[in-house]
Structure 1
Amino acid sequence: MQRVLSGVFAAALVLAAQAAFAQSKPPLKLGGILDMSGLYADITGAGSEVAAKMAAEDFGGEVLGRKIEIIAADHLNKADLAANIARDMLDNQGVEMIFDVAASATALAAGEIAKAHNKIVIFNGPGSIRLSNEACGPYTVHYVFDTFAQANVTGLAAVKQGLDSWFFLTADYAFGQDLEKDTTNVVLKNGGKVLGSVRHPLNTSDFSSYLLQAQSSKAKVIGLANAGGDTINAIKQAAEFGLTKGGQKLSPLLAFVTDIDSVGLETAQGLLLAEAFYWDLNDDTRAFSKRFMERVKRVPTSAQAGVYSSVLHYLKAVKAAGTTDSAAVMKIMKDTPINDMFAKNGKIREDGRMVHDMYLFEVKKPLESKGRWDDYKLLATISGNDAFQSLELSRCPLVKK
């Protein structure tokens, strides 16, 4: 009996020592650089932080004996602040991977810091095509959408419907400029024409002068090359001006389900838009969205769903690699197809673009909706290879021509 007790005691000591050793390992920190308070807060913000935490919990809460810790900071839509936050996370807080970085200007700034530190950065909220072209890096992933895919899906669908003359309202920064440029290329390539454009500052409250210019252009389509609060304000004020009643059609080139909810179906009905994810697509999207809604009290946007998927993909790669070394982890991330509620057979290419299906939706009429968040009718599913820029056209220095 004494020998048995001694054995039990020794085993307990070994387990205690192992637990102490595991606890002595620093946590694996993942850092979200988010818009917590500005015009993209609903699109990313606290919802992206929650999505990352859900991924960490679903993975099991730890990897390689290290507890997974999600931290987040508000970049206030300032590129210099985003860069400083990224630098502090990597230099002082021990962050191993940065995610989301909503808005393109902030993403471009933070991305350069991550590149200089040889750390993985995964972009979920920003859209500029530059992130997987001129600004690409060996450890950079552009996960959810980009301006090329948004333009290719929405612009092409509109022109095919005979909506072949365009005027753009464009947010005057990297994302808006790229979105206008990419949509212009799609319109012209398919026989349409662009009658003009006007650029507005980020976070504009009064669109009256811009909408008057769009109205006087007589263009069939007013393309909104903006996002978040700017898109919401532009759609609402266009309705007040009677633009759609006058025969012109609005095309939000990047809109999220939260934007449509803010605008309301009465105003938004009939809009064509491209999305990477919709909560009501299938059983998997509905199951994830139900859990997300229990915490956030609203359905997830495509950016927030992309955060969950990308964080989970990263953690699986860390486990498989047996290390957090960026090169080893990124190799597995690129070699491993992504199959989850966000993407089926998604693939991260050598330029960092995650290629997956995109969806063309039409916003429902109020009578067609069964309740809040039941906003979209699926018109088409576009394969990733058809939606996103091909590698042959890539301007990423890493792509072998």
Structure 2
Amino acid sequence: MLAGKRILLIIGGGIAAYKCLDLIRRLKERGACVTPVLTRAAQEFVTPLSVSALAGEKVYTDLFDLTDEAEMGHIQLSRVADLVLVAPATADLMAKMAGGHANDLATTLLMATDTPVMIAPAMNLRMWEHAATQRNLATLLGDKVQVIGPNNGDMACGEHGPGRMSEPMEIVAAVELALSDGPLRGKRVLVTSGPTHEPIDPVRYIANRSSGAQGTAIASALASLGAEVVFVTGPADVAPPSGVKVVAVQSAAEMLQAVQNALPVDAGVFAAAVADWRVKRESNSKIKKQDGKLPILEFAENPDILAEVSQMKKDRPGLVVGFAAETDDVIANATAKRKRKGCDWIVANDVSPETGIMGGTENAVHLITDDGVEDWPRMGKGEVARQLAERIAAALG
């Protein structure tokens, strides 16, 4: 899939730079030509010699190298690539990109390029969660920079959480999708998936039986058509798809915040089974039995994510697709829900226990739009996802 594709790989100065040696090898295995650029800090982690040996290409490091300028100026170097990939994208590099800095070779190339840019962030979790980094991320997303990762996990600093650079094969999958020629190339789509967990106390929560399988399949199908997918998922039973930006959340409030952070997008597919209610006052300690007395739990409504996005005055996606999991009067209830929420389409299904759909491998849906109701036959969730992705591609044109 990458045969003949030229990738300008900018390696930032973080411990994750060592992963780029394997990343280069994996990209070249698939036929890509990789031109490496090392920042000054990156050279503290990997050497130009090792990178050059794996890439089979000259390594560029210096903005003011007269020989390089004579042979291929930095403007030209930034434009002959099919994709500019920044890995690892440190907090410093992200800040410079967001601020439009051009004070070294890497940032000058990023400012001068007219080709798509993808970043694979990697940093300490506190740096990733810092308000400044999140503002810079929002700016880069608004500039149509594609983002892969970061992942959760253990870090070299000894802490655990979001901030690990995506693994080489995850980045390769994202690059393949970014360079695919599908009908959704250049489109950014948000997908929510899975259940939400609403805490009662530190060991108990309210949830539902959603496995997240349908939302995961939809995200994968959209990505296969070339879309840049932001996948906001609750604690699902199935693993998230590769080649998409995964944002893991627990509660409805966290999901709403993640959705707002992901905007603007061209389309939003809200497949998550968001809990309608939460406990109004979560206990900070485990609720104990008290001589047979039952605890009294006071509930509050969760935010209505689908309605909030559908009724936005600013940054509303061009296409908003909701889901309606019903047990009675499926089409009537789903049609009313579409009107009440203000979304463009509703994908409705019958999740009565006897159908086996909730948590199963198949689905039988009805697509409700302005044009009426389409009854789709029962099929695998992957096939439902493929058909829906194709309909979304046609609608976004």
Regarding TM over 0.5, the answer is no
The answer to which structure has the higher helix fraction is 1
- TM-score, length-scaled by structure 2: 0.28
The answer to which structure has the higher strand fraction is 2
